[in-house]
A and B are shown apart, each in its own frame.
Chain A
């Protein structure tokens, strides 16, 4: 790798560009996505200071109530307030999504970039490693991790994160290889740039669109994976609520209280929708070709 370090970082020059926010506010899917995502974050933040009821307080006498003035979305099987659970559950879901995708994104992208920068046996090795880890589906590694370290949100997050690594590695490598074949990379090499600098300054920015879109999709999958793990008792542990766990719990009540499954389902759906829209918007906005109007 070259001894030359990149001179200053890419520092998202577009974000800093004066018109960025003005343009962003005119981008429909960015705005809708942004609002939904902001709501998600706000819900999580709000739960730290206020919830209509305590999300841990059980009142078994008033279980499974339909939505009413006192319990806006009704109560669950332990008589807890669904709104409060949803608010607090947002935290766990954000955490799972962000960290699990973060792990996959950072490690997977790094591996993918390394593979395409080094080629040869490094690439071969990394790709075989991803093959190998794909043989362990998320649920399987989660089961194993749980069996060894005990269940819990942290292990669930790590298991999902690990599963994201090969996916990101493959996608990154494929798109990075395409970028490496471009003439502007040859130009950079002709300038004497090292593989590291080229990777950071040319390859990464040019595959960012792919990564952004993939991240938002993976975010959704991570939240749902947490739900599936909770369904198997491997995810978030009680009494900590998470949307996935609420969904999993409501699933056993599908026949008596179908609404209980609808609320967290809708919450997940909205969060995922928001992130996808935000991702699409961000991809457009960060693309200089689409960004500037003359």
Chain B
């Protein structure tokens, strides 16, 4: 049995301008010990997806479909039950290390909180455990800094504290929602290395969200590319990087300025902007921004098509895309 099975997940958010379908029929599975990356433009529904796994959506959100975690259905699970899973079976690391920690509680308290909650540890025992965790995530001189407050740590250290907190109860699944976006490259590297090591060490499953393809490439074995609330491409990281079957995936890759590329070269951009969630088109959400758009694209949402082993793409113009790719594949876009 896979650890996580998501099937036809829909999330509708109530907004002043009507309901917005932020997630539209997502499905994927995650085995124990597997690492999964999610990439996509800002606002495409990455965070909403993982928040629905955690049951952390705003109360205005309507979730339908199925999320089976370790065989248990999470959709519609009462809040009390969900509280027991959160932080215990599923841990989460957030994007902003600067604001994700409570500024008025000591770090020992914050790291020990899940332990007290789920393991029933005494304050003293939780503190001991917190010390162990903080040492494990590499907070220097952790013993003397247990009673320090978040603002007394650097961004990288804070993110480590966040990781320690997520790992406190040894979850089966670790979700990291853009854990390094706010950090500079050297720190980012440390944090990602740490997450990788910990996942390997404990045999956890990992879901990592990022819009940095470099981060995804180095951290996860499988990836999903999301756009407009649905998965447009999924597969093993290597396959997706090699094939870039969906035009949107191509756009994402092309837009990235590469180190060492000749100066003055224009970056390829994706014209237009992400469609409004409130009035998403009936067809392919990327239709209109895509160079390969034909009328059929607007008509109906493209079905998933397998283009390789475990490599699915939702595009009806795959042939045209592939043809174009072959002809314009120049060195300019090649990553070194």
Which residues of the other chain, B, contact A294 by a CB distance below 8 angstroms?
17
A183 contacts chain B at the CB level, 8 A cutoff? no
The interface residues of chain A, by DSSP majority, are classed as: loop
B34-76 contacts to A, CB under 8 A, are none
Residues of A in contact (CB 8 Å), total 2
- Chain A's closest residue to B278 (CB) is A294
Report Cα–Cα, A124/B17, bound state, in Å: 47
B16 contacts chain A at the CB level, 8 A cutoff? yes
Report A265 CB to chain B, min CB distance, Å.
Answer: 38
The 3 sampled A-B contact pairs (Cβ below 8 Å) are A293-B16, A293-B17, A294-B17
Taking beta carbons and an 8 Å cutoff, which residues of B are in contact with A?
Answer: 16-17
Report B29 CB to chain A, min CB distance, Å.
Answer: 38
A236-294 contacts to B, CB under 8 A, are 293-294
- Chain A's closest residue to B276 (CB) is A294
Report Cα–Cα, A293/B17, bound state, in Å: 8
Report Cα–Cα, A135/B17, bound state, in Å: 50
Report A170 CB to chain B, min CB distance, Å.
Answer: 23
Which residues of the other chain, A, contact B17 by a CB distance below 8 angstroms?
293-294
Report Cα–Cα, A284/B16, bound state, in Å: 14
Give 3 closest A-B pairs by Cβ, nearest first: A293-B17, A293-B16, A294-B17
Which residues of the other chain, A, contact B16 by a CB distance below 8 angstroms?
293
Report Cα–Cα, A182/B33, bound state, in Å: 44
- Chain A's closest residue to B17 (CB) is A293
Which residues of the other chain, B, contact A293 by a CB distance below 8 angstroms?
16-17
- Chain B's closest residue to A293 (CB) is B17
Report A29 CB to chain B, min CB distance, Å.
Answer: 16
- Chain B's closest residue to A290 (CB) is B16
Report B239 CB to chain A, min CB distance, Å.
Answer: 40
Report Cα–Cα, A294/B276, bound state, in Å: 11
Report B276 CB to chain A, min CB distance, Å.
Answer: 8
Report Cα–Cα, A294/B18, bound state, in Å: 12
Report Cα–Cα, A256/B58, bound state, in Å: 55
Contact with B along A105-133 (1 / 0, CB 8 A): 00000000000000000000000000000
Report Cα–Cα, A220/B16, bound state, in Å: 32
- Chain B's closest residue to A294 (CB) is B17
Report Cα–Cα, A293/B18, bound state, in Å: 12
Report A215 CB to chain B, min CB distance, Å.
Answer: 27
Report B98 CB to chain A, min CB distance, Å.
Answer: 15
Report Cα–Cα, A294/B16, bound state, in Å: 11
Report Cα–Cα, A294/B17, bound state, in Å: 9
Report A145 CB to chain B, min CB distance, Å.
Answer: 44
Report A40 CB to chain B, min CB distance, Å.
Answer: 31
Report Cα–Cα, A294/B15, bound state, in Å: 13
Contact with B along A84-100 (1 / 0, CB 8 A): 00000000000000000
Report A244 CB to chain B, min CB distance, Å.
Answer: 41
Report Cα–Cα, A294/B278, bound state, in Å: 11
Report B299 CB to chain A, min CB distance, Å.
Answer: 26
Report Cα–Cα, A18/B182, bound state, in Å: 41
Report B234 CB to chain A, min CB distance, Å.
Answer: 33
Report A31 CB to chain B, min CB distance, Å.
Answer: 18
Report A206 CB to chain B, min CB distance, Å.
Answer: 21
Report A176 CB to chain B, min CB distance, Å.
Answer: 23
Report Cα–Cα, A162/B130, bound state, in Å: 54
Contact with B along A28-42 (1 / 0, CB 8 A): 000000000000000
Report B17 CB to chain A, min CB distance, Å.
Answer: 7
Report A221 CB to chain B, min CB distance, Å.
Answer: 31
Report B88 CB to chain A, min CB distance, Å.
Answer: 38
Report A140 CB to chain B, min CB distance, Å.
Answer: 37
Report Cα–Cα, A293/B276, bound state, in Å: 13
